[in-house]
Amino acid sequence: MKLDDHYELYRQTCLRFAKEKIAPFVDEWEEAELFPLELYREAAAAGVLAAAYPEEYGGGGGDMLDGLIGVEAWLTGGSSGVVAGLGSLGIALPPILVLGSEEQKRRFVSPVLAGEKVAALAITEPGTGSDVAGISTRAVRDGSDYLISGSKLFITSGARADTVSVLARTGADKHGGLTFFVIEKGMPGFTVSRALKKTGWRASDTAELAFDEVRVPEANRIGEEGSGFVALMKNFQHERLALAFYGHATAAIALEDAIAYAKERQAFGRPLVGFQVTRHKLARMATEVEAARTLDYSCALRVRDGEYLVTEVSMAKNFAAEVAQRVCYEAVQIFGGMGFMRETRVERLSRDARLLPIGGGTTEIMNEIIAKGLGL
């Protein structure tokens, strides 16, 4: 899809960063289940970490489409985990940018955009996933401070985060009783319970966090009490659109690898592409990738231009997640036994794709949202 020149220039910058700074090291980082913190600073220096954020806080002055193009391009480095970890600011900072004061934005946003600090978002709890209104982590007033107690689960960048945007309950109202706070590394009572082992996205650290009466000053409350749920719902639309971009980009890479392998691999005296069944399989895969990409960009451009899409973004996320899984499955099938080996990229892609129908709202929740949008 042809975009304005500045988007294409940014895409090329991100592709170059992925080729030079991610791809050569990705196997090592996947095995270590971690990438070096220096990558944040390198991304900031290269101008690819903060392009979508306001200039006054150290960003590049771009828009949300820049961020999505970055996700798409970074994935060519070969690891969704690296992209998720490097891009965790994309879900951690929006509540602060939407609800926070100028002082909070400069204090919590600017160092992250400079690559000096790592930010995470903490919503999911051991007993609360898609039902955000069921959050039980509590923030209780104690003078001019709050005492926060509870736990959060599956937190991307949680083990290394310097700041965590935490959604906690400040009131009894199911939706109106939720408030965002920034909890900082080193605050007494804040601990990383455990780093989590995952099937895919291995290069991103994912953690369970515990809060035992963490004393948080009022200056770290983001927005007014009760403002958290609405801000989170807006944030969800961007997160879901980003996951849709993960989907079509993952599928596109798997397709590229499958085509290259099918041209090279010989069977029964001819390359795999010499068989109609392989050609038709690749044709179907390419069609689905293009359909997902087109839907994703259509939604992204409308959101960039000010539309608040819920139904369509849910459609895009579901479809791209399904396409990623199908295309990765078929890519592994084309590779045969080699597709089951850790040394091939399609093996990793097939594992990474499995998270897409779960993260940011499950396929089932997206279908309920779509059904509601249809008046059902």
Domain boundaries, the chain: 5-113, 119-226, 230-373
Please state, in angstroms and rounded to a whole number, the distance separating the CA atoms of residues 312 and 299. 7
What tens digit of pLDDT does each residue of 7-26 get?
999 999 999 999 999 999 99
CA nearest neighbour of 189 among 207, 211, 167, 172 = 211
Look at residue 128 in the predicted model and tell me its pLDDT.
82
DSSP reduced 3-state for 145: strand
Q: Around Cβ 110, how many Cβ atoms within 10 Å?
A: 17
User: Which pLDDT band, with edges at 50, 70 and 90, does 233 fall under?
Assistant: confident
pTM beyond 0.85: yes
Burial of residue 194, with CB atoms counted within 10 A of its CB: 0-12 exposed, 13-18 middle, 19 or more buried:
middle
Average pLDDT over residues 335-350: 96
Extended strands (E) in 158-233: 163-169, 178-184, 190-195, 206-217, 221-222
DSSP assignment string, 307-371? ---SHHHHHHHHHHHHHHHHHHHHHHHHHGGGGGSTTSHHHHHHHHGGGTTTTTS-HHHHHHHHH
User: What's 230-373's CATH class?
Assistant: mainly alpha
- Residue 306: phi and psi, rounded to 5, are 110, -5
Q: Which of 30, 42, 208, 239 is catalytic?
A: 239
Instruction: Specify whether 239 is catalytic.
Output: yes
Pairing type for strands 163-169 and 119-122 reads parallel
Average pLDDT over residues 18-38: 96
Average pLDDT over residues 361-373: 96
Check whether 216 has a pLDDT greater than 80.
yes
Task: Mention every residue, 6+ apart, whose C-beta is less than 8 A from residue 323.
Answer: 247, 248, 251, 288, 289, 291, 292
Look at residue 1 in the predicted model and tell me its pLDDT.
67
Look at residue 130 in the predicted model and tell me its pLDDT.
72
What tens digit of pLDDT does each residue of 136-179 get?
999 999 999 999 999 999 999 999 999 999 999 999 898 899 99
Burial of residue 280, with CB atoms counted within 10 A of its CB: 0-12 exposed, 13-18 middle, 19 or more buried:
exposed
Domain 5-113 has CATH 1.10.540.10: yes
Instruction: Please state, rounded to an integer, the average pLDDT across all residues of the chain.
Output: 96
CA nearest neighbour of 164 among 207, 194, 134 = 207
Domain 119-226 has CATH 2.40.110.10: yes
Please state, in angstroms and rounded to a whole number, the distance separating the CA atoms of residues 224 and 201. 35
